[in-house]
Amino acid sequence: MNKTILITGGAGFIGSNFIHYFIKEHPDYEIINLDKLTYAGNLENLKGVDDNPNYHFVKGDIANKELVEYLFQTFEPVYVVNFAAESHVDRSIEGPEVFIKSNVYGAQILLDVAKEFWLKNNMFDSARFLQISTDEVYGSLPLESSEKFTEDSLFKPNSPYSASKAAADLLARAYYITYNMPVLITRSSNNFGPRQYPEKLIPLTIITKKDFVEDGSAPAHVYAYGSYGLGMPVGFSSNFICIFFIRLGVFFWPGLTFARIKDN
């Protein structure tokens, strides 16, 4: 079987972590990383894998149909993992257009080119298209609510970002139903960890706090509750301890040592 995987948005936070993981766990696969290198994409995130002969980087837009067709014809990927997206809610409020272009139109181009290529080459049995989505398509719940979202919850996106992700999910579902295309969708909640662009909550909080601690304008400790935490950030301040409320996540951050906190 052909062992090529097309990963989009692989220079961003989650995509680059996925590539590091994937190349280690599946060294026999050929990886094509298609990334537009927006402000959020950084080739530094791929240090350590970029010299692997099975890894190929292509700078480009998932909404560029000719380019995506060229990549399918040249590399014949059997799997697609679509991480590529504009991903910051606040930016989507300032300027939604690029979110529609990348997250909706781009997803449709990828789905369509993959569908045509896999159909023509009789690959539906072995191929998979994984659309990376977000729990934000379900909207939000009041803190005191006992309701939980499930995969069957209604879509109630609250921002242009989550609306664009919901639109892509509906397209992905439609390709599955209409063409019987092998499509999967995953909707995780917030992630944090190494290689995350520092506009997101946790890295932004750490960086802001670090500045306040260093110039003496803030107390040195921040506390919250949870299962896992970050402790003793090397290079911050020796008495600065930072514990976050995230239950699941990646347990390494450059320059930080992590401690496991007892589950309450």
Ligand X SMILES: NC(=O)c1ccc[n+]([C@@H]2O[C@H](COP(=O)([O-])OP(=O)(O)OC[C@H]3O[C@@H](n4cnc5c(N)ncnc54)[C@H](O)[C@@H]3O)[C@@H](O)[C@H]2O)c1
Report the catalytic residues. 135-136, 161
Using CB under 6 A as the binding rule, whether residue 249 contacts ligand X is answered as no
228-231 sheet: strands from edge to edge: 221-222, 241-242, 228-231, 257-260
| Window of 110-118, 185-193, 212-220, 234-242 that interacts with ligand X by CB under 6 A | 185-193
Distance CA 106, CA 231 (A): 40
- Near ligand X by CB under 6 A: residue from 5, 6, 7, 11: 11
Using CB under 6 A as the binding rule, whether residue 91 contacts ligand X is answered as no
- C-alpha torsion angle, residues 147, 149, 155, 156 (rounded to 10): 40
Shortest distance (Å) from residue 1 CB to ligand X: 27
Q: Read off the tokens for 11.
A: 């220079």
Using CB under 6 A as the binding rule, whether residue 8 contacts ligand X is answered as yes
User: How many C-beta neighbours within 10 Å does residue 87 have?
Assistant: 24
Q: 60 vs 240, which CB is nearer to ligand X?
A: 60
Contacts of 73 (CB under 8 A, 6+ apart): 117
Pinpoint the alpha helices (H) of the chain.
13-25, 65-75, 89-94, 97-99, 106-120, 160-179, 201-214
- In degrees and rounded to multiples of 5, residue 10 shows phi and psi of -75, 0
| Window of 31-39, 66-74, 116-124, 253-261 that interacts with ligand X by CB under 6 A | 31-39
Using CB under 6 A as the binding rule, whether residue 41 contacts ligand X is answered as yes
Using CB under 6 A as the binding rule, whether residue 165 contacts ligand X is answered as yes
- Near ligand X by CB under 6 A: residue from 2, 54, 153, 191: 191
Contacting residues toward ligand X, per CB under 6 A = 8-9, 11-15, 34-38, 40-41, 61-63, 83-87, 102, 106, 132, 134, 165, 188, 190-191, 197
